[in-house]
Every structure is written in structure tokens, then in C-alpha cells.
Amino acid sequence: MGRKGDLLELIDGAPIGVRTLTGSVWKWTHRERYQRAIKELSQSHGGSVGFATFGGPIGETSDQHLRVWLDLTDRWRMESEDYIDLRNGQRRWVGSSTRITEMTNGEAELEDTEIGWLVAPGNRLLGALRFGEATDDVVAGRPCLKVDATVNRSQAIGRFNPVHMRLGGIDHTFWFDTVVGIVLRHVGMIDDEPCTISEFKGVRINPPLTDLDFEFVPPPDAVVTRQVDHLIQMAEARGVDMTGVDRQDYQAVQEAFHNAMRPDQPTPEAQLEMQKAKHVPVGNPPEGEAAARVSIEYAFNHLGEMDDDGVVLVNVQSGRDLAGPLIEAQKRVPGAGDNPATASLMVDDIKFLRSDEAVVWFSVEVNGERFPMVNGREGRAVKVGDRWLIEHATIADLLGFAGVVVPPPEE
């Protein structure tokens, strides 16, 4: 089969012979390089991605240390001082040390977790990356295959592949365990500088685990809310009639919400075309249209940018006193917790109505996955002075999905 074929077979079959696994995962991120890489990849697929931060300034780099217990049937536990993702076989809890969401939306998949791509790389990496030739190496005493890879830019996908959000980088180096095929170490790079580094430490294969290892015990000060209750709160805040809807059934609540918000909804692609067609320009586009698009994308991509006092959202029209409502809304997004790196704002398209106003279609991603309630949402951008800003009403509408009331704009 050859060395390359052996490598791909190893990746595709991983984790080989693993029933249980324990260890810890360290992930280092250089925020600016990571965001630059993700934006470059998103633009190469015809999109735009931004990173909304909440709760004030963040550091240049971040370190995450997760302790891991894994039972390949359908149980896992991943936790740090400020993060938890636990599934006991029937239910799953995800969140921070203070806010945890009990997930009720369908079956949970290991590949959707922080370490899923490390344990089962074939599900995510094959097709998304082009691999080079492998060489033998050793990581923490475990034999492995070291291989360079780069993004498969010819991949025919309609939307940006969420695995790239997990990996971070244009070019990559992997160390695959030669026995079980898991990723022992990964480095994502842009312009020959590291964006992210992930490493499995203290790996134990097939240790004995019990039900106690997957028992959910919330931290003393944590607020635990069911995912379906988050959705009910959003629906009621939007005036959706929930009469006759089984409030214990996530799918039923979601269907009622969708039917009320977007009855007889066509496909997302057809809907976007219809939305675009209904907007007829009433004036000329701005001079320097390309620069205006960049400015609008910047405003949406940096929604969470605040003034020095942490009160004003500087990229929003009449943005005074909006920082607090934005932070509160972010905390209510299921699965987002208090982690500022989980939520991102993506601009899907822009259409200018006149030189100082544009329609903007945008989406929100949480942990690399599009949030269904805000996917292809329509908003506005307005030019105030020499800057393009997000229209105040657009932010009021967006935060309203989380049941957060936005103060009216200043006169």
C-alpha cells in the first residue's frame, strides 16, 4: 500500500482498539494569528467570519487544559477550572463553572466536542486537508507518524468547514499514534508562525472506568438550564404562541419557533435570493464600494468591541449602554457559557441601497457550528460620519432572540 496509504488507513480507522481512554489535553492559541488564518480560509470559500469578544479585553494568547475521561460507547467527561462537557450515555451538559446547559437537541456526537477530532481524526480531517509524506517520531514515549498537511482549497463545500475552526491554521503538522491512530500533537500555522498547538498528555489506553467517572455534579455556584428552556425563553420573548406545544420536546418547540418566525420557509439559498431581490436600491452605491464592504464586515466582525469604559459598543449606531446587554445575551446562548472564543459573527452578503445604507445578511456560529436561530439573518448597516456601523435596530433584533431588552437609541 505504501507509506502514504498506511498513514491514511491509520487516520481513517482511528481510534483503533480503544474502548476507554484517559489523559489531558493542552491547547495553546495565538488569537491574532488564529483569527487571521480563519478569516483567510473563510474568504477563500466566499464567506466572511468575525470574532465577537465579551467581557472586556482578552490576552494575546490563551491556554486551555482539559482533563479527559472517555468511554467509546457514548460517554465522556472533559473539564477544566472554567469548562465542562460531560455525557453520561443519556444526557449531556456543556458550559462553564457558573453557567451550564443541559443539552436536549438530538444525539450527541464525540466528533462535535473539543477533543473529537483528536480521538477520531478520520471523521474530520480526511478530505479537508492534503497530507504529505510521513516520518517516524516519538511523543511522550509513544511511537508516532509525523506528517505535514495543508488545507485542501479545492474541496467543494458550500460553507466553511467547521473543522478549520477547531484546528486553526493554513498549514499543519500532526503526530499520529502509530498504534491507535489518535492525534498526540498538532501545530497549526500561518506564514510559518504557530496559531494553535494541541497535545495529548498522560494518555492511558483502555483503563477501567465506572459510572462514577461520568456522574454529573454541578459546581456549587453554577446555574444549570435545559437547552429546551433556553429555546422556550427565546420563543416567548419573540411572541411565539406556545399553546399546545410539548415543552419537554425540543424538536416540537424548535418547530413551533421556526413556523412562527419563518412560515413556509424555502431552502436557505432560495430564501436569500428572494430577500436580496426584494431590496431595490434607491440611490447610488458608495464611492469605493469595495472599501465600504470591508468597513461593514469589520463592524459586524467586531460587534463586541467596546470603549475604554466597557459601556459603548463602538461599531454599533448609538451603541451607548449596549455592552451589558450583549454580554448578557451571549451568556444565554446554549453551549456558549462564558468562553469569549466560542461565539463568532459571519457576514454572508451585503447589498447597498444607497451611499449610506446597506442590507447585511449575517449568521452566528457557536463552537464552529451555525446557530439555527440566526442563520442568514437580515440586518442593516448605516454610514455615520465617515464610518460604517451596525444599525441599532439590528442589534436590538439580534439580542431579542436571547430575551434581552435593548435600551432605545439616544436622541
Q: Map out the domains of the chain with their CATH numbers.
A: 3-29+60-214 (2.50.20.10), 224-265 (no CATH), 266-400 (3.10.450)
CA distance between the termini of the chain: 72
Closest CA to 117 of 65, 184, 208, 45: 184
Residue 62: pLDDT band by 50, 70, 90 thresholds?
Answer: confident
User: In this prediction, what percent of the chain has a pLDDT beyond 90?
Assistant: 35
pLDDT at residue 229 above 90?
no
Q: DSSP 3-state helix, strand, coil percentages of the chain (rounded to 5)?
A: 30, 35, 40
pLDDT at residue 317 above 80?
yes
Contacting residues for 376 by C-beta, under 8 A, at least 6 apart: 268, 271, 272, 348, 361, 362, 363
Q: Where are the beta strands (DSSP E) in 31-134?
A: 48-49, 61-71, 75-80, 83-88, 92-95, 99-103, 129-131
Residue 158: pLDDT band by 50, 70, 90 thresholds?
Answer: very low
Q: What is the pLDDT of residues 19-44, one digit of tens each?
A: 999 999 999 999 889 888 888 877 76
What gap in Å lies between CA 41 and CA 35, rounded to an integer?
Answer: 10
Most confident of 175-179, 267-271, 378-382: 175-179
8 Å CB contact between 169 and 181: no
User: What pLDDT shows up at residue 378?
Assistant: 86
pLDDT at residue 155 above 50?
no
User: What pLDDT shows up at residue 45?
Assistant: 58
- Weakest-pLDDT range from 89-103, 208-222, 230-244: 230-244
User: What pLDDT shows up at residue 86?
Assistant: 94
pTM above 0.75, yes or no: no
Question: Which residue stretches of 14-121 are H helix?
Answer: 31-44, 116-119
What gap in Å lies between CA 322 and CA 329, rounded to an integer?
Answer: 11
User: What pLDDT shows up at residue 215?
Assistant: 94
What gap in Å lies between CA 336 and CA 366, rounded to an integer?
Answer: 6
What gap in Å lies between CA 306 and CA 321, rounded to an integer?
Answer: 10
User: What pLDDT shows up at residue 305?
Assistant: 87
Mean pLDDT of the chain: 82
Contacting residues for 298 by C-beta, under 8 A, at least 6 apart: 50, 315, 388
Q: What is the pLDDT of residues 340-374, one digit of tens each?
A: 445 677 888 899 999 999 999 888 776 656 665 56
8 Å CB contact between 119 and 205: no
Secondary structure, 3-state, 255-306: HHHHHHHCCCCCCHHHHHHHHHHHCCCCCCCCCCHHHHHHHHHHHHHCCCCE
